[in-house]
Copies of this chain bind each other. A is one copy, B any other.
Amino acid sequence: MRMPGEAHALVRHSHQERVLRALRERGALSRGELAEAVGLSRTTISEITRDLLRHGSVVVLDTDAASRAGSGRPAERLVLDPDSGQFMGVDFGHRRVRVAVADASHEVVVSGRQAYPDSTGWPERISIAFDLIDRLSVERGVHFRALQGIGIGVTGPHPRSSAPLAPDGAFGTGFAAARDDVDVSFAERFGASVIVENNTRFAALAEALAGGADDENLLYVRLSDGVGGALVIGGQIVSGATGLAGELGHVTVAPGGARCRCGKSGCLKTVASVPSMLAACRERGADIGSIDELASSADPVVKQVLREAASAVGAVVGTVAMVFNPAEIVIGGEIARLTPALVERTSETLGEELFPWVAARPVVRAARLADDDGAIGALAALFRSAPMLADQPEPAPVRALPA
């Protein structure tokens, strides 16, 4: 089955693949980190990286001198040859598009954003994104000739099938149209493969990676125009059987409560989205018109509304954490960044739902990244989405089959 003369070449090739894949997925790594990541000895890693450096597929980025604790010689950090590929992350939000382009070493070489009104249709959003990309290319003198993959975040769930999923309007502006047009438009324009995913899921992946290599089990909740959610398990986005995973905002928290756009009543969104919080303040007589007023007001009514929202979020997140056992729970959205008390209260309520011992307790924190960093998450998903073995072409048959 395997000819003896080939055996060593096969093993060496497999080791090279693992080293290249680790650098592709994780960006800059020292030889020590590489040895740990791929499970080979330092000696073998040194030999493999020497070959790869000589060949030029890998280059030295810098040393870890700046971040290094303790004495000892600073370690070189290796990356894939930056010129060997480009990757584009795009995040279409409700009111702006963000674009970030990285090289194969994970360095973001170009990024920018462009606002549009919420009412903007999909063909126009795509055209705005193309104009932004063209402008960035000219301004920074960067060409996208080596583009290998494009990751595009969109609002609403992104289903795997092409069957109509939800009634029109349930997830906001033209979700179905986004699904049909975005991937084809970008693939044709740039001649690269495209992945499309919900942008909250991409943001969750970016948060998981920003938290370090051990944070790859993460539950993300975003309090914004709606209440979004996403799960990362083992460093992978969870999409669900029909692409609907992560709908924390539509868990029932107030049976018989306010009607939700999804068709149900008393969804978490009707209590904990920013518009719902603003409406609740006004209903109860507090004249609060903006997210800044909501965050800074000393009015006890406003504080009570925030408290109730946080308790509802904490209860839902607690149930989910009991079943997923995440390492981290991240609360995103501008209101969470502006109002530390909201994150604290969520954490308290959540704590009441979990087992009363330490190992069952995830870290609860506000998001580190801005809300439009779905583009960064899209890049991360791209770096992880292309297993190199699967890239190998199928060879032509070497002999005819017997009839």
Residues of A within 8 A of B (CB): 1-3, 6, 8-16, 18, 39-41, 43-44, 46-47, 51-52, 55, 57, 159, 161, 163, 165-167, 170, 217, 229, 231, 233-234, 236, 238-248, 250-252, 262-264, 316, 318-320, 322-327, 352-353, 355-357, 359-360, 362, 389-390, 392-395, 397-399, 401
* In-complex Cβ contact of A16 among B1, B57, B163, B250 (8 A): B1
Contact B359 A51 (CB under 8 A): no
Whether B323 and A241, one on each chain, are in contact in the complex, defined by CB atoms closer than 8 angstroms, is no
CB contact under 8 A between A322 and B248, given known A355-B263, A362-B241, A394-B40:
yes
In the bound complex, do residue B359 and residue A159 qualify as a contact, i.e. CB atoms below 8 Å apart?
A: yes
B359 touches A165 (CB 8 A): yes
When C-beta atoms are compared, the residue in chain B nearest to A41 turns out to be B394
Given contacts A11-B392, A165-B357, contact A240 B401 (CB under 8 A): no
Which listed residue, B262, B323, B359, B393, touches A166 by the CB 8 Å rule?
Answer: B359
- Which B residues lie within 8 Å of A161 (CB)? 359
Q: Which of B6, B10, B251, B395 contacts A322 (CB 8 A)?
A: B251
B166 touches A355 (CB 8 A): yes
Q: A252-B353, A264-B355, A394-B40 are in contact. Are A326 and B241 (CB under 8 A)?
A: yes
B8 near A395 (CB under 8 angstroms)?
yes
Copies per assembly: 2
A251 to B355, CA, bound (A): 9
**Are B323 and A359 in contact, with the CB atoms below 8 A?**
no
Q: Please, how many angstroms separate the alpha-carbon atoms of A398 and B48 in the complex?
A: 11
Q: List, in ascending order, chain B residues with CB within 8 A of A323's CB.
A: 229, 231, 245-248, 251, 320, 324
Given contacts A238-B233, A245-B323, A355-B247, contact A401 B10 (CB under 8 A): no
Chain B residues within an 8 Å CB radius of A236:
234
Complex: how many Å from CA A52 to CA B326? 43
Q: In the assembled complex, which residues on chain B have CB atoms less than 8 Å from the CB atom of A325? A: 239-247
Which of A40, A236, A324 is most buried by chain B, counting CB atoms within 10 A of its CB?
A324
Name the CB-closest residue of B to A356.
B263
Which of A234, A252, A263, A322 has the largest count of B CB atoms less than 10 A from its CB? A322
Residues in B neighbouring A1, C-beta threshold 8 A: 16, 51-52, 55, 57
Distance in angstroms between the alpha carbons of A168 and B14 in the assembled complex:
45
Bound Cα distance from A394 to B239, whole angstroms: 36
CB neighbours (8 Å) of A170 from chain B are: 355, 357
- A401-B46 in contact (CB<8A): yes
